[in-house]
Amino acid sequence: MKRVLLSLLVAFGLLGSAFAQQPGSTLVVGMSILPNTIDSGDANDSNAIAVTRQIVERLVELAPGNEGLVPGLASSWEANADSTEWTFHLLQGVRFHDGTPFNAEAVKFSLDRWNDAANPYHFGAEGKAYVGWRNLFGGFLGDGSAVSEVVVDDEYTVTLKLTRSISFLPSLLAGGYFGFDSPAAVMAAGANYGTPSVGSVGTGPYRFERWEEGSRVVLTANTEYRDGPPPTETVVFVGVSDPTARLAQLKAGALDIAAAISPSDLDSVLSDPNLELVRGEGGLNTSYLAMHQNQKPMDDVRVRQAVAYAVDRVAIVDAFYAGQAVAAEDIIPDSLWGHADGVGAYPYDPAKARELLTEAGYPNGFDTELWYRNSGLEPVIAEAIASYLADVGIRAALKTEDWAAFLADYMAGNFPLYTLGWNADFADPDTFIYTFYGPQAVRRFGWNAPEVVTLTQEARQVPGQAERAALYAQVVTAAHEAMPVLPLAHQSQFFVVRKGVTGLVPNPLGAFPVLAGTSKAQ
Amino acid sequence: MTTYLIRRVLGIIPVLLGVTFLVFAINRIVPSNPAVAILGDKGTVESQRQLAEELGLNKPVFFDVEGYRSSGRFGQLFDSQYFKYMGELLTGNLGKSFMTRAPVTDSLKVRFPATMELALFSILIGSTLGIVLGVVAALRRGTWVDTGMLFIAVSGVSFPVFWTAIVLIYLFSVQLGWFPPAGRLNVTSTLQPVTGLFVLDTLLRGQYKLFLDSLHHLVLPAFALGTHAMALIMRMTRSSMLDVLRRDYVRTAASKGVPPLVVVMKHAFRNALVPVVTVMGLSFGSLLSGAILVEAIFNWPGVGSWIFNAITQRDYPVIQGGVLFVAAVFIVLNMLVDLSYVLIDPRIRY
Amino acid sequence: MRRFLRNRSGVIGLAIVLFFTVATLLAPVLRPYNAGTDRNLAKRLKPPSAEHVLGTDELGRDVLTRVWHGGRVSLSVSLLVVGFSAVLGTALGVLAAIMRGWLDLTLSWFVDILLAFPGILLAIAIVAALGANLTNALIAISIMGIPGYYRVMRSAVIGLRDLEFVQAAEALGSSKFRVAVKHLLPNALSPLIVQVTLAIGRTVLTIASLGFLGLGAQPPTPEWGLMIKAGYSQFLTAPWLSIAPGFAIYLAVLGFNMLGDAIRDHFDPQLRT
């Protein structure tokens, strides 16, 4: 019996060497979860967009490694004087993977499909939600949408007519949601377009091969890609929800690239000679501690300021981010413009915090709740914040719930304190300022400051950066004083890869890079 | 016997009805709304309301009492999410996932065989080890060997399964590189499923290399899951072996000079297997719950992790369809185990 | 008692259980650190040393103190859960057995529905709906445990119901409930005791599983499953973080299982050797 067991073990051991290394022309990417859909307009989460980015392309693309914009399927674009009409000049001779031509009609087809709930290919009743479109363009046609009409000027020119001025429209279109699908493929597949059995058809460097439910999405190189075929023949996306299991699989050689690795795991990455950290500069994201003013005593500005003084953000960033983040000065990351001169962060000063609490009538502190999401670094950071707050007498009970419930509760103003993060949708201060201090501020933080909201809206209308910067400086200063939300950290974007993987450049927006130039050495 | 059988089978219906009712009730205890989860951080009150309507979540959960009062029509009472779902269910339609928009039945076809395969191999590993330990313990009863075997078996059921799983991955995949840490097949291999059980499908398709590959992928997760069944089966084997060893015919065989090993293998062991088989059936329930954790860690595309994710995402159609299906399988399995008692032991009557 | 003491594994189990009971009672006295609040970011993730016997965790807290206090959480919650479901399950089971008729049918139907949810699934669904915290986990696991006691007690009482002394008591005019409390319950106790001891070990595991999934205890509660979750990502660089609570769970569950097995052997002569 023992001998049989031993020989079985040896046999498996021999087999073991076979699974670890794949041929060099395959890249295996580990995500936290497989896409919900790969219909790009309907794809909402970063995992889905990571896959669609390889298959479909956008009019405007993010420059690799920085927040700039570069031509995509549009070679150039221009706006009228008040930014209410944008004209895009398209690349010529581009074909979809199914052989049909890419042209102005195809652009109009997709834009109309996303924008118009009555469009026959919208499939809203079948469950397609177009969350990206709803959120970035304000809704659907006639119901809040900023796009009123898409006009085909000629075969390779298309114009978007807007209901309001948007000076950063190209930035919006470069977001991951708006990749162009083959109209023929959408018409053929109907509501099933983008599901595992059908997949999607675009113009990108990889074409959809197959999608095995719950296991993997397989893409193959588009050999007719206009910039030449990508160096890797097959890209496989797998979903591993547990970050530790994901890292373990990378270490065991079952993955080549792992996304969404927690900075807390980097110690074991850096000590592994087979792994490498690929790091991008200046992540456009902010993690924060919000203080909801619907909940007493957060309605007292002195209490909110006391919280800001009580938390040692620098020590927290040093302890947990493994050098992959900087302590936030304000809500806008340092690499973007829009800051206010002379307005820095609150220093760590527990004595000052206690003083403010006494002034506010809480010499012995108070009991409250701190809510956090149970993923990545968030639990330890919440714990660290709670223990800093305890030092000044604020006894915050730590609480969490699943994401669906969390979203509903924080939007309803049920949490006195909560930690969350925000990832920029596009590289413009607007995505931070408008999100945090715009009309949603009442809902997010219970901060009711109409004059500040007006400033954020005004800044959307004026075209020049200098004028907008002046308005943003006022907003940032007001927020610094009222302290509805304490910015904590800006994290850099990084991936962990196996040694030999080259040509992977993280983008500051956190969008998964297009793998057109990524390969693995043999 | 026949009446008993009919009664058991008919008895399943009210229980399954109760399961659908309970799943609906639990899902909707909190007013949390899947539309909020789908639209995420950026959703507005208006877009959430719109989407809830599109998904049919604006209707009452069980009974439309208001609609009945205002319209006076009795049928209006049943214009609810529950009765709409039950109506679809009767036609075999489990709906589409809110998240993936894929039909729930399509996902079940892939995911259930994956969990079955994992559970079957866990039972295989657990019972092989359990029977060996149990036989050895029975033959050496009362000695330290006996205590040692019991200790090993109880240890198997005392480790948290998620902990065993991660230790196995670090030890056998990361450090030693003997077994793959995740998945059902090598990432570059393709297999056209027949039954969904990859071990079987690879043989049916004649892809023998893939057959070994799928076995290779099964070892770690099945072992992590199988240790719990091992303990139960070891105890059963041991006590039924002891019981049989005391019987006259076994003693007679031994006294006739038949070598001890032959006595054990030929007489005692075979008879002792009967109760063990029923225990294997009963272990399935605990396997399914352990599967939730093991599937998540080993990236095994089964029903356990699927339903767990659906619960956290409020993907109602998946929760409802998945739980209902698993419950149905579980009930049928329990019934078969009960029936096997009747068949095996004629003293039990109903 | 002497017969019990001859059962080696039962004695080992009893020793482990006693050790955990004493240790958890003494927890607040024995360690110089505070399990919840003592943080020291400068000393995080330090390996075992004389000062910190099991090292420090991601917030620089003493791991031994936390594992030790984790025993308090796990054992007290387990006892509450088992007590809660044993009392409810027994009451309902006895009620069903003596009342028979539609009440028995309804209760048994409801229990069958609960049993149709395999294992931990029902608890996950309940906690996800009610909100993730230790109290809700306690409620969910308690509900999950009811069917086991219900079934055991119902069949035990039905078995006793027809025995002569019970029928004699009923014939003498005692009420059904009086008979149940005075005659049936005490005689059905042994299956209950077996069920309870075996359930404690299982409950410790279930609580840890929910904690691991983020559906049980919340930080900074030193709960074993939660500690494994927080620490196991550093398995290669700081193995003490997950090995210590993992081993604690193992030892506690092992103790209760061995004790439970021994008690079962004691009451059930068929399994005895």
| pLDDT tens for each residue of B9-25 | 888 889 999 998 888 88
CB distance C112 to B22 below 8 Å: no
| Burial category of C3 from C-beta neighbours within 10 Å (exposed 0-12, middle 13-18, buried 19 and up) | exposed
Give domain status of residue C60, yes or no: yes
Is residue C41 in a domain? no
Specify the residue for token string 């700039």: A68
Contacts B173 to A, Cβ<8 Å: 248-249, 251-252, 254
Residues in chain A within 8 Å Cβ distance of C41: 315-316, 318-319, 384
Residues C233-253 pLDDT 10s? 777 778 888 889 999 999 999
Domain that holds residue C134: 16-23+54-271
pTM of the model: 0.83
CATH number of the CATH domain containing B325: 1.10.3720.10
> How many A×B Cβ pairs under 8 Å?
182
Is the ipTM beyond the 0.90 threshold? no
Q: Determine whether the interchain pair C132/A374 forms a contact, defined as Cβ–Cβ distance below 8 Å.
A: yes
CATH number where C60 lies: 1.10.3720.10
User: pLDDT at position B239, please?
Assistant: 78
Q: Is residue B76 part of a domain?
A: no
Tens of pLDDT, residue by residue over C43-101, are 777 888 878 878 888 777 888 888 888 888 888 999 999 999 999 999 999 889 888 88
Tell me whether residue C156 is in a domain.
Answer: yes
How many B×C Cβ pairs under 8 Å? 128
Mean pLDDT of chain C: 82
Q: Which of A16, A213, A214 faces B179 most closely, judged by CB atoms? A: A16
In terms of residue numbers, what domain contains B235? Answer: 104-344
Residue C183 lies in a domain: yes
Nearest C-alpha of chain B: how many angstroms from C172? 31
Contact yes or no for C236 and A268 at CB 8 A:
yes
Closest CA to C230 of C241, C238, C215: C241
Contact partners of A by the rule of 3+ C-beta pairs under 8 A? B, C
**Beta-sheet pairing, A234-239 with A216-221:** antiparallel
Q: How confident is the model at residue A393 (pLDDT cuts 50, 70, 90)?
A: very high
| CB-nearest partner of B187 from A22, A194, A405 | A22
> Has residue B42 been placed in a domain?
no
Residue C31 lies inside a defined structural domain of this protein? no
Q: How many domains does chain C have?
A: 1
Task: Quick: pLDDT tens for A147-195.
Answer: 999 999 999 999 999 998 888 899 889 878 899 999 999 999 998 899 8
Provide, as residue numbers in chain A, all residues whose Cβ is less than 8 Å from the Cβ of B55.
127
- Kindly state the average pLDDT of the residues C9-23: 88
Considering only the beta carbons, identify the residue of C113, C209, C273 that sits closest to B293.
C209
Cα distances (Å, whole numbers) of residue A337 to A427, A434, A473, B330: 10, 14, 10, 60
- CB contact, 8 Å: A365 with chain C? no
Per the domain annotation, does B74 fall within a domain?
A: no
In a domain, B112, yes or no: yes
Question: How does residue C31 score in pLDDT terms, banded at 50, 70 and 90?
Answer: low
What are the structure tokens assigned to B39, written together? 């639209």
- ω into residue C220 within 30 of 0, thus cis? yes
**Is C37 in Cβ contact with A390 (below 8 Å)?**
yes
pLDDT of residue A152: 96
What is the structure's pLDDT at B279? 66
Q: Please check the confidence at residue C270 and state whether its pLDDT lies above 70.
A: no
Residue C32 covered by a domain:
no
What are the pLDDT tens digits along chain B (350 aa)?
678 788 888 888 899 999 988 888 887 766 557 787 777 776 777 777 777 877 778 777 888 788 788 887 877 878 888 888 888 888 888 888 888 778 899 889 889 999 989 988 988 888 888 888 888 888 888 788 888 888 888 888 888 888 888 888 888 988 888 998 888 887 777 777 888 888 888 888 888 888 898 999 999 999 998 888 888 788 778 877 787 777 777 777 777 777 767 777 766 666 666 666 666 666 776 677 678 888 888 888 889 888 888 887 788 889 889 888 888 888 888 788 777 766 655 554 44
Instruction: Point out the residue among A236, A404, A425 whose CB comes nearest to the CB of B314.
Output: A404
Chain C touched by B77 (CB under 8 Å) = no
Q: With contact defined as beta carbons under 8 Å apart, do B311 and C122 qualify?
A: no
Structure token digits, residue B99? 């998240």
pLDDT value for A16? 43
Q: What is the pLDDT of residue A212?
A: 86
What digits encode the pLDDT tens for the residues A260-273? 888 878 877 888 89
Closest CB to C271: pick one of B154, B155, B239: B239
Any chain C CB within 8 A of the CB of A271? yes
Residue A75 DSSP symbol: E
Is B150 in Cβ contact with C9 (below 8 Å)?
A: yes
Q: Residue B137 and residue B335: Cα distance in Å, rounded?
A: 31
Domain assignment present for residue B66? The answer is no
Would residue B188 count as lying in a domain? yes
Question: Which residue of chain A comes nearest to B29, CA vs CA?
Answer: A405
Query: How much is the pLDDT for A6?
Result: 47
- Domain-located, residue C33: no
What's C54's DSSP letter?
T
CA A438 to chain B, closest CA, distance in angstroms equals: 13
What integer is the mean pLDDT of A404-426?
A: 87
Which residues of chain B neighbour A128 with C-beta distances below 8 Å?
Answer: 101
Residue A113 has pLDDT above 50, yes or no: yes
Maximum average pLDDT range among A200-204, B131-135, B179-183, C26-30: A200-204
- Of the listed ranges A26-35, A284-293, B271-280, C144-153, the least confidently predicted one is B271-280
Interface of C with A in 187-216 (CB under 8 A): 214
Q: C191-213 pLDDT, tens per residue?
A: 788 788 888 988 999 999 999 88
Least confident of A134-138, B42-46, C30-34, C166-170: C30-34
Q: Looking at residue A21, what is its pLDDT?
A: 41
Q: What is the pLDDT of residue C140?
A: 92
pLDDT band, residue A2 (cuts 50/70/90): very low
Total structural domains within chain B: 1
Question: Which pLDDT tens digit goes with each residue over A91-103?
Answer: 999 999 999 999 9
Query: Is the CB of A335 inside 8 Å of chain C's CB atoms?
Result: no
Residues 162-181 of B with CB under 8 A from A: 166, 169-170, 173-174, 176-181
% of chain A beyond a pLDDT of 70: 95
Residue B16: inside a domain, yes or no?
no
- B97-100's contacts with Cβ under 8 Å and 24+ in sequence apart are B97/B310, B97/B315, B97/B317, B97/B318, B98/A127, B98/B34, B98/B38, B98/B55, B98/B313, B98/B314, B98/B315, B98/B316, B98/B317, B98/B318, B99/A36, B99/B38, B99/B310, B99/B313, B99/B315, B99/B318, B100/A36, B100/A37, B100/A195, B100/A196
Find chains touching chain C: ≥3 CB pairs under 8 Å: A, B
